[in-house]
Homo-oligomer: A and B are copies of this chain.
Amino acid sequence: MSKQAAHPTLLIPGPIEFDDAVLDAMATPSQSHVGGPFVNTFGDTLKQVRDLFISTDPAAQPLVVSGSGTLGWDFVAANLVEPEEEVLVLHSGYFADSFADCLSTYGARPTQLKAPIGSRPSLAEIEKALKEKSYKVITITHVDTSTGVLSDIKAVAELVQKVSPNTLVVVDGVCSVGCEEIRFDEWGLDVVLTASQKAIGVPAGLSILMLSGRAVETFNSRKSKPGSYFASFANWLPIMRNYEAKKPSYFATPSPQLIHALHTSLTQILSIPLADRFTRHKSTSQYVKSKIAELGLKQLASKPEEQANGMTAIYLPEGVAIPDLLPKLMAKGVVFAGGLHKEIATKYFRFGHMGVSVMNNDLGHMDKALAALKESLEACKK
């Protein structure tokens, strides 16, 4: 506890603050990656991942692999798309550009459907694009961490099912899984990829994916071999199935410490109804956004229905610069993030509100941060 107490409160859109029990699990003594105790823990953790995605379809398949969220793009690009196949990339910020780059690396042909900064492509625009070309995959950034724009993945998935039912629906959920509502089976999603260090509340180092049965079939009927070795479903799917069946299996060494931390955090997350968790993130977000408005600040995402519930991207007021603001916040024990979207990086900052900072009111993180922001902005203007 004392170690935790001494550190500034990290309220960036990932990594987030971690619960003490999760950090304790990071210090789990060494275990064999193929020994009974770890195989049990990993198997249970994979079942928890299904629960996190509200998925009961036995044909669906969770994957947890050492890496960062970015590795999830390689998994999609190297396994679900074959060279020369078309992908529609919905753009709501910086991360769509990178996902498109990744798709191109493996020979796919991405077409980006771009929206102005702070918004997302409309359903009408998406429908038009889907009718113009036959797409193997559509990708949606659920929450773009560079802009705080939320996409309506349920509505997009419904639209795809109506106008282009063979297109796989792939969601980049790096900044959404664990804080935004996701109903994997019910909404007919084919892939949600994420990372450990955001609303899942575990230190960075894990790439986490959920695949539909249809995604697995698509992979199984590939004509060409997967374009990656480390990020190959052929190498990992049998391993995940074995761990979940509590059978030791080896392709590359997983990290027992990170898996224990994930197991600990998912146990906490799943100890209350997920709907309550989503509601709490939404109400906290609305509280933060109302306070931000009271301070006279504007968000990048101007429409309420396009605003993420786990973070807020905020324009700096006239005359205040990042190198002035962030050190003043830091002096008050609060860490926010600067801008990330290349075109306007120096003009805004980002406030993450996910995980324990939202779910555990006793920590007082939100009011501490909002007070620090108010005082720091006032000091900047003097």
Contact = CB atoms under 8 A, between A and B. Distances in A.
Interface of A: 3-4, 6-7, 10, 12, 14-18, 23-24, 26-35, 66-71, 73-74, 77, 101-102, 105-106, 195, 197, 203-205, 225-232, 250-258, 335, 337, 340
A15 B27 contact: no
Contact of A229 (B3, B14, B101, B229): B101
Which of A4, A32, A226, A228 counts the most chain B CB atoms within 10 A? Answer: A228
Contacts of A256: 15, 203-204
Given A32-B337, A229-B74, A204 B253 contact: yes
A70 B251 contact: yes
A29 B1 CA distance: 10
Which of A26, A27, A28, A67 counts the most chain B CB atoms within 10 A? Answer: A27
23 contacts: A3-B28, A6-B29, A10-B31, A15-B32, A15-B256, A26-B27, A32-B337, A67-B230, A69-B252, A69-B253, A70-B251, A74-B228, A74-B231, A102-B229, A105-B225, A105-B227, A195-B253, A203-B257, A204-B253, A204-B256, A204-B257, A228-B231, A230-B230
A242 to B, nearest CB: 15
A26 B335 contact: no
Given A17-B30, A29-B3, A254 B68 contact: yes
Contacts of A23: 27-29
A301 to B, nearest CB: 21
B27 A3 contact: yes
A15 B33 contact: yes
Interface SS of chain A: loop
Contacts of A10: 30-32
A196 to B, nearest CB: 9
A195 B258 CA distance: 15
A255 B18 contact: no
3 tightest A-B CB contacts, nearest first = A70-B252, A205-B255, A102-B229
Nearest to A231: B230
Contacts of A3: 27-29
Contact of A27 (B24, B74, B195, B255): B24
Contact of A105 (B70, B105, B232, B255): B232
A14 B19 CA distance: 28
B17 A229 contact: no
A253 B30 contact: no
B14 A253 contact: yes
